[in-house]
């Protein structure tokens, strides 16, 4: 087991009449607000080591939204807006104050909506591999990006994601992807008032550099970073990803 993963804890919290499942690592530290991670397409496994890395310097949470991680944990519909509402409700009820909000992939899209609609809940925003540029909002463009990106993903990624996808089911996954394709992050990011970091892997075809540059320029206070890897660059690079988040939030 990688260092730190043995300290990851499971918790359930009741929010708006529903039980929300999350994983937690670390303790509250003076000078650091809580870190909240929102996964892409509802799969938690590939972000657990990033959670553990963040837990070394802050109290960190990985939310099981929309609830693919457990048969009894379906929290909300598999749509960007519904996930954003679930995250907002959880932060209000459980943390009660501003957080460092980190989203990956479609989770970045949901996190972006939280920061725009509820600025009092987000001190700083980290968007990892934000999806989808306009050319991927049709099936052909999305498939091309998938093929290009898949060449650079590590072989162990599927065991870390497929179990959650299977619990979610193909209907919910398709609904989630369609919702993300209909979203317009380039518009939403103009409404965000907190500092924003956008990071992509150098081989990330779902978040190509021109798209990240466009989002960074549209953010009132945005900056960007390129790291090694493809779309799921946090997988097996949790320490590096946690340091990226820590460096941004403390800078």
Concatenated DSSP letters of 118-172: -GGGEEEEEEES----GGGSSHHHHHHHHHHHHTTS-TTHHHHHHHHHHHH-HHH
Exposure of 55 in the CB half-sphere (CA atoms within 13 A): 21
Domain enclosing residue 55, as ranges? 5-250
From 177, 180, 169, select the one nearest 74 (Cα to Cα): 169
pLDDT exceeds cutoff 90 at 248: yes
pLDDT exceeds cutoff 80 at 144: yes
Digit-coded pLDDT (tens) for 181-199: 999 999 999 999 999 999 9
Digit-coded pLDDT (tens) for 4-53: 466 899 999 999 899 999 999 998 776 679 999 999 999 999 999 999 99
17 by DSSP, 3-state: which? coil
- In the chain, the number of structural domains is 1
Residues 6 or more apart in contact with residue 140 via CB below 8 angstroms: none
User: Crossing angle, helix 170-182 and helix 106-117, to 10 degrees?
Assistant: 50
With beta carbons less than 8 A apart as the criterion, state whether 248 and 124 touch: yes
Digit-coded pLDDT (tens) for 217-242: 999 999 999 999 999 999 999 999 99
With beta carbons less than 8 A apart as the criterion, state whether 110 and 84 touch: yes
* Helices marked H in the chain: 48-54, 80-90, 106-117, 139-150, 157-168, 170-182, 185-188, 209-218, 238-250
Average pLDDT over residues 104-121: 98
Q: Domain containing 58 — which CATH number?
A: 3.40.50.1820
């Amino acid at each position: 087991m990688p260092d730190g993963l043995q300290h990851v804890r499971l918790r359930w919290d009741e929010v708006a009449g529903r039980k929300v499942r999350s994983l937690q690592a670390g303790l509250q530290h003076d000078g650091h607000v809580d870190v909240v991670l929102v996964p892409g397409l509802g799969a938690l496994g590939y972000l657990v080591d990033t959670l553990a890395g963040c837990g070394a310097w802050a109290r960190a949470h990985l939310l099981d939204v929309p609830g693919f991680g457990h048969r009894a944990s379906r929290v909300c519909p598999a749509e960007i807006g519904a996930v954003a509402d679930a995250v907002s409700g959880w932060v209000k009820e459980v943390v009660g104050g501003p957080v460092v909000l980190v989203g990956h992939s479609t989770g970045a899209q949901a996190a972006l909506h939280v920061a725009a609609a509820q600025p009092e809940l987000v001190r700083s925003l980290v968007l990892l591999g934000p999806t989808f540029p306009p050319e991927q909002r049709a099936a052909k463009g999305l498939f091309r990006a998938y093929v290009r990106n898949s060449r650079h993903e590590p072989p162990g990624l599927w065991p870390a994601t497929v179990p959650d996808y299977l619990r979610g089911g193909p209907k919910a996954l398709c609904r989630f992807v369609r919702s993300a394709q209909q979203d317009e992050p380039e518009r939403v990011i103009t409404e965000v008032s907190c500092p924003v970091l956008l990071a992509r892997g150098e081989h990330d075809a779902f978040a190509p550099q021109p798209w990240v540059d466009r989002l960074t320029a549209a953010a009132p206070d945005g900056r960007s970073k390129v790291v090694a890897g493809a779309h799921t660059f946090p997988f097996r690079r949790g320490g590096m990803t946690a340091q990226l988040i820590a460096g941004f939030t403390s800078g």
